[in-house]
Amino acid sequence: MPAIARSLDDALAPIQDGCVLAVPRESSGVPMAATRALIRRGIKRLHLIALPTSSLQADLLIGAGCVETLETSAVSLGEFGAAPRFTAAILGGAIRMKDATCPALHAAFQASEKGVPFMPLRGLLGTDVLKNRPDWKVIDNPFDSEDPIVLLPAIRPDVALFHAPMADRDGNVWIGRQRELLTMAHAAERTVVTVEKLHDGNLLDDKILAAGTLPGFYVDQVAVVERGCWPLPLPEHYAWDAEHLQEYVMLAATDEGFARYLDKFVHEKQAA
C-alpha cells in the first residue's frame, strides 16, 4: 500500500541524483512545491522528461543546476515569454537536449504502459527532428516494403511526479480528466504525488469519482501540499499567479536575478 508521507521531503525520497524523472504539462498538475523542495535538497543530474511540454518547472530546475538531460517538445512561459534559464542553458550548452514532439512522447510512454519495447509513429517522417534522434529508427513496414515507419523506444522513467486535487488514505489519487497522468504512472517504475487534500473514504468506492481515479497500486508516495502547483495553475481549482510569473521572468533574465529569485522564493521557503 502506498504511504501517506509525514512530510514533502519524505515523499520525495525516491527521487535521487541521476533519476529519470517524468513530469506533466502546465495544465495537468505541475508539482511546484515539490520542485522547490528538490532544489533545496540540491538534486543533481536529472534526466527530466516533460510530457509533453514544460514551463516554469523545467526553467527553475535547469537554472538551479539540477538537470543534465532534458527531453521534451517545448519549454515556454507562454504569454509571459521565453523560458530564460532554459534558453541560456541551450545557448551555453549547459544541458543535453533530446528534441521530441508531443505525439512522440505520448507514444513512447504508451509503449512502457503496454509493456512493449517500442511504439511505431508515422508523423515524424520528413521532419528534421529525426536528424537529431539517432535512437529513433526508420524501418520498412513489415507488411508493406514501400511504407516506412518510425519506431520509438519505450520511455520508462524511474519516477513520475505530479500534483493532483486529492487522494484517499489508501493511496488512490483522483486525477479527473488529466488522463496523461495515468499513462505516466503506468509507465514509471515509481510514482510520487502531491495533493491538495485527503478524501474521507475510498475514491474507488465512489461511483462518480472512481472513473477519474488512479488506483493506489500505481502510487508509491503521497504528500498533502496545499496549493502545491503555485504559482502555476491547478485547473478548476486555482489560476496561475500572473504577477509572480512576471516577476520571475524579470529576475530570471540574468544569473544574478535568478539567484535572487531562488533566495527569496525557494531557499527561504517564502513561496506560499
Do 261 and 206 belong to one domain?
yes
pLDDT at position 269 over 80: no
Taking the C-alpha atoms of residue 259 and residue 64, their distance in angstroms, rounded to an integer, is 8
Do 249 and 175 belong to one domain?
yes
For range 249-267, the mean pLDDT:
97
185, three cell numbers: 504512472
Q: In the prediction, which pLDDT does 272 show?
A: 45
Do residues 226 and 197 make contact, with C-beta atoms less than 8 angstroms apart? yes
129-163 confidence digits (pLDDT tens)? 999 999 999 999 999 989 999 999 999 999 999 99
Q: How many domains does the chain have?
A: 2
pLDDT tier at 1 (50, 70, 90 boundaries)?
low
Give domain status of residue 194, yes or no: yes
For range 32-42, the mean pLDDT:
98
Do 126 and 82 belong to one domain?
no
Give domain status of residue 18, yes or no: yes
- Considering 153, 170, 194, which residue would you say is the last residue of a domain? 153
83-101 confidence digits (pLDDT tens)? 999 999 999 999 999 999 9
Do 149 and 239 belong to one domain?
no
DSSP sequence for 15-49:
--TT-EEEEE-GGGT--HHHHHHHHHHT--SEEEE
DSSP sequence for 183-226:
HHHHHSSEEEEEEEEEESS-GGG-TTTGGGEE-GGG-SEEEE-T
For range 220-232, the mean pLDDT:
98
Give domain status of residue 16, yes or no: yes
For range 180-198, the mean pLDDT:
98
For range 160-177, the mean pLDDT:
97
76 burial via Cβ count (<10 Å: 0-12, 13-18, 19+): middle
62-72 confidence digits (pLDDT tens)? 999 999 999 99
Q: In the prediction, which pLDDT does 96 show?
A: 98
Q: What percent of the chain has pLDDT over 70?
A: 98
200 burial via Cβ count (<10 Å: 0-12, 13-18, 19+): exposed
Do 13 and 147 belong to one domain?
no
Do 95 and 139 belong to one domain?
no
Do residues 139 and 122 make contact, with C-beta atoms less than 8 angstroms apart? no
Do 140 and 45 belong to one domain?
no
Give domain status of residue 272, yes or no: no
**Cα separations (Å) of 237 from 72, 174, 200, 225, 245?**
26, 13, 19, 14, 18
Q: CB within 8 A of 160, min separation 6: which ones? A: 21, 22, 23, 181, 184, 185, 187, 188, 190, 191, 192
AA identity, residue 193: V
Q: In the prediction, which pLDDT does 48 show?
A: 98
Give domain status of residue 56, yes or no: yes
Q: In the prediction, which pLDDT does 268 show?
A: 74
Q: What residues are paired with 91 via a beta bridge?
A: none
Q: The pTM is what?
A: 0.95
Do 145 and 165 belong to one domain?
no
For residue 38, report the phi and psi dihedrals to the nearest 5 degrees: -65, -40
pLDDT tier at 2 (50, 70, 90 boundaries)?
low
Do 169 and 64 belong to one domain?
yes
For range 224-240, the mean pLDDT:
96
Do 136 and 199 belong to one domain?
no
Domain of residue 251 covers 3-100+156-267
Q: In the prediction, which pLDDT does 271 show?
A: 46
